Amino acid sequence: MQFETEILSLEAVDIAYSVLGDGPPVLLLHGFPQTRAMWGPIARRLARDHTVILADLRGYGESGKPDVDSPTECAAYSFREMGRDQLALMSALGFERFHLVGHDRGARVAHRMALDAPERVASVTVMDIVPTHLLLTQLSHGVARSYFHWFFLAQPYPFPERLIASHPDYFFESCLLGWGGAKLSDFAPDHLAAYRGAWRDPATIFGMCQDYRAALTHDLALDTADLGRKVTCPALVLYGADGAMARAFDVPATWADRLAQMQAQTVPGGHFFPDTAPDATAQALAQFLKQTRSIY
């Protein structure tokens, strides 16, 4: 599904986004190594009852890539800074309160937004993640093996960038096919075309590496400071029934002390179930949003 691209120019970065539908606003945030294109059929389904906003995170897709000329500093790529971009986007669109959905890195941004701006977030859905602090401080051999990319991408510039740039399709497609055993044929051709077009850009490779560098420093410190705080709005934890997180963790239990009003549900497939099981994902989201519609 092709979306019309709009650009919001902020002081630090341009944010690419698309809008469709009408009704209570829902912001959808993608993960690594994708773009907002991943939401195609899910966005179309939700747009029957909602105004759906899809945005590329800074560093990804058509959004800006700050600090390309100062690669030793990654603070601009913290989840807090990414979240501030999205809060500014929703304000610019006239939505001071909205539902928030994120997958992978987008889910980590969504969690940070719900902590930093609880008055703005009517509900939050996090897809196929465990909390960043828990993942990094209780790291097991199995998780480290599956999620090696966290530590590879976080290596000092330009080591990972140069290796990935030698064959970006090979590296990023190996990520898509891991963490739950998907096949390339499980991904819509237009989604793959959008992902490839983005990750072949050296600036995007840099942006994604900066994202992971920031996670090990700035984001871990922020989450450590916020231990004990709970997201108070209704929250849905969706995770792949066959994914690496489900194999390694009791995923709902990892969120129990961080989400005050939590529901949890599995979706068939691995980590990339929004791509590989869009109908089931859309159904779960639509049901949850219907339940929380009255609080918008």
Active site amino acids: 104, 271
Beta strands 98-103 and 51-55, pairing class: unpaired
Alpha carbon distance 9, 112 (integer Å): 22
Alpha carbon distance 247, 249 (integer Å): 6
Q: Which two tokens stand for residue 52?
A: 């759906």
Where helices occur in the chain by DSSP H, the ranges are 40-46, 79-92, 105-116, 132-137, 141-146, 149-153, 159-165, 168-177, 189-199, 202-214, 220-225, 244-248, 251-255, 273-276, 278-292
Which residue is listed with tokens 């309160």? 97
- What is residue 208's three-state secondary structure? helix
Contact predicate 38/23, CB 8 Å: no
Alpha carbon distance 48, 286 (integer Å): 10
Helices (H) and strands (E) in the chain, counts: 15, 8
Alpha carbon distance 89, 258 (integer Å): 26
Q: Which two tokens stand for residue 267?
A: 């979706």
Residue 96 φ then ψ, to 5°: -85, -15
- Amino acid 278 reads P
